Amino acid sequence: MAYLFTSESVSEGHPDKVADQISDALIDNFLAFDPSSKVACETLVTTGQVVLAGEVKTKTYLDVQTIARNVISKIGYTKSEYMFEANSCGILSAIHDQSDDINRGVDRTADERNFEEKAESQGAGDQGMMFGYATRETDNYMPLALDLAHKILQELSAIRRENKRIKYLRPDAKSQVTIEYADNNKPIRIDTIVVSTQHDDFGTDEDMLATIRRDVINYVIPRVKAKLKPSLRKLFNDEITYYINPTGKFVIGGPHGDTGLTGRKIIVDTYGGKGAHGGGAFSGKDPSKVDRSAAYATRHIAKNLVAAGVCDEVLVQVSYAIGVAKPCGIFVNTYGTAKVKGENGKKLSDGEIARVVEKIFDMRPYAIEQRLKLRNPIYSETAAYGHMGRESEWVRKVFKGPDGTEKTVDVELFTWEKLDYVDTVKETFGI
């Protein structure tokens, strides 16, 4: 029997995402000037106010107020009528030194470890379990509903910045896409699209709603469709149910309309509800926190497994104890789509696939950091429109210290999205 599945996304102007972007901008600046920095920072944004809190172990000093204001300005909160504006909002910093009790679990002496001191023995920054997921459903191996929800808001953001065809858009927005699937888990059609976008106050409530509905359906959605491959365009039809600003008015938004906090959009950040989530947020954490680094590593594994032909869909879990380098365990679920066989000619079980995965991918925290180049300032770009399913690319970034000195670095973004282990996976599994 056919079924429906829904995922949502939020724009870079959503208050929780504003908080995520500020926290990750701080991470990038710390890592740019001191790659060994250990950081866990949280951000709260509300009407006219930003509060920064967290723990840091670093050799550098940052002007956190300027960094936060630059992020807010880049997002688009630059007008006083938004009641949250880059140059005028108050910024309170309560960032302090990291607890030695936490740090000693990551950076311990050789005597405390009772074995040879090696960087490879870096312990996990916390306990917990992390999940990675991949599916053949889209070209970027992401769930379709989430991928479309992201694309709608990315297009809406691009239109807002163009400020030509639609000039009333404000930064805050949300989207939601519901897909109808057949019994074989193949998408049949798009059932429902929800878009709520903040906007200027430009007429009666009825006029504003009619204008926004017309522009989203007749201009935004066609721009999204035009960038999709033909097989996905076919999922759009005249029977889609649209809910455009269903409350009727969305003038008050952003941090003025709703307080934002770092780490409150973890499903938007990952797989839109597909697969599973260990519960840990990403933004504001340096890569010694396995909540972040191991979630990236399991996505890297899952994507390479599917791309190599091991299975059509897979969920990969890894778990850790704080201060211990070796994972507690690795779990694999292929949802019955596994295609690989052992030497005896029998189909490998998910447990057997997991044991092979352990041999291919070193999941100790230090090994993950090195393999995915996570000690680089690469995190600001992850803080809106998902940490997964993005394009890996090299970019040049410039950071300015509080004394005016600049540092230019070339970094590779979204390394966990690379299909650089496909050949190794194929060879190991005999594909």
Does the annotation place 42 within a ligand binding site?
yes
Crossing angle of helices 350-360 and 422-429, rounded to 10°: 130
d(CA 256, CA 41): 22
Does the annotation place 264 within a ligand binding site?
yes
Those residues whose C-beta lies under 8 Å from the C-beta of residue 313, and which sit 6 or more positions away, are 134, 135, 136, 137, 185, 306, 334, 335, 337
Does the annotation place 265 within a ligand binding site?
yes
Does the annotation place 249 within a ligand binding site?
yes
Does the annotation place 98 within a ligand binding site?
yes
> Is 237 within 8 Å of 217 (Cβ atoms)?
no
Does the annotation place 250 within a ligand binding site?
yes
Does the annotation place 289 within a ligand binding site?
yes
d(CA 287, CA 234): 40
Does the annotation place 285 within a ligand binding site?
yes
Alpha carbon distances (Å) from 159 to 12, 33, 215, 245: 14, 35, 11, 17
10 Å Cβ neighbour count for 80? 11
Pairing assessment for the beta strands 169-181 and 187-199 based on DSSP bridges = antiparallel
Q: Exposed, middle or buried, 146 (CB in 10 Å: 0-12/13-18/19+)?
A: buried
Does the annotation place 326 within a ligand binding site?
no
Does the annotation place 297 within a ligand binding site?
no
> Is 390 within 8 Å of 38 (Cβ atoms)?
no
Burial per residue of 306-343, b for 16 or more beta-carbon CB atoms within 10 angstroms, e otherwise: bbbebbbbbbbbbbbeebebebeebbbbbeeebebeee
Q: Kindly provide the residue ranges of all beta strands, DSSP E only, lying in 263-357, ordered along the sequence.
A: 313-320, 329-333
Alpha carbon distances (Å) from 91 to 16, 157, 249, 325: 16, 26, 30, 37
d(CA 193, CA 156): 14
The structure tokens listed for 103 are 């740090």
Q: Give the torsion sign (CA, 386, 388, 392, 394).
A: positive
Does the annotation place 277 within a ligand binding site?
no
Residues annotated in the binding site for K(+), as ranges? Answer: 42
The binding site for ATP comprises 14, 172-174, 249-250, 258, 264-265, 281, 285
Q: Could you list the residues known to form a binding site for L-methionine, using ranges.
A: 55, 98, 258, 289
Give the residue numbers of the binding site for Mg(2+).
Answer: 16
Binding site, by residue number, is 14, 16, 42, 55, 98, 172-174, 249-250, 258, 264-265, 281, 285, 289
